[in-house]
Structure formats: C-alpha cells, structure tokens
Amino acid sequence: MIKLAFKTNKGQEEILDAAVKYFKGKTGLEITERSPCCVIMGEMYRDYVMVSLSQEKDGFEVTVESREHEYLAKEFAQSFR
C-alpha cells in the first residue's frame, strides 16, 4: 500500500479526470465513488486507487492512496511535475 501527496495548480475537474483516465486505462478498475473532491476506483478491501483533493491557497494538494498499484501511483504523481 502507498499513500503520497503532491501540489498542483491544475483545476479540480482536470485532476480528477486525469486520474480516472490514467488509472482506468492502466488497471481496468471501475469508478466506485466520485465526488467534487475525490474519486475511488476499485474496492477498498481489495485493490483500489483513491485520489483526493484538498484546496490550497494557490491550487490543490492531491493525495493518492493505492493498494496493489503502487508503481502506477508514483507515475501518476510524477506526471504532474
């Protein structure tokens, strides 16, 4: 399991849409929950990816938590740098 965070000035929908496109395409996980501040793909008791947003003064802090997809979580975070 991995949990990591990074900051970005990209928009809320842009971040969540990118997460869905990236992880669904590479893992085949389906969206199980989506709200304006997070998206969860997969099942929390099995393999999953959760991307959540926290509003910052100049953008968002993005937290990526995953089980079984640690490498992809790291790659996703790197794609925002």
Q: What is the pLDDT of residue 78?
A: 96
pLDDT at 65: 97
Q: Which domain holds residue 56?
A: 2-78
Over the chain (81 residues), what is each successive 10-residue block's mean pLDDT?
Answer: 96 97 94 97 93 96 97 95 77
Model pTM score: 0.94
Tokens of 22: 């990236």
Judged on CB neighbours under 10 Å (0-12, 13-18, 19+), 63 is middle
Instruction: Count how many domains the chain has.
Output: 1
Distance CA(46)–CA(12), nearest Å, equals: 27
CATH assignment at residue 34:
3.30.530.50
pLDDT recorded at residue 80: 84
Distances (CA, A) of 71 to 9, 25, 36, 60, 75: 23, 15, 25, 22, 6
Phi, psi values for residue 43, rounded to 5°: -115, 130
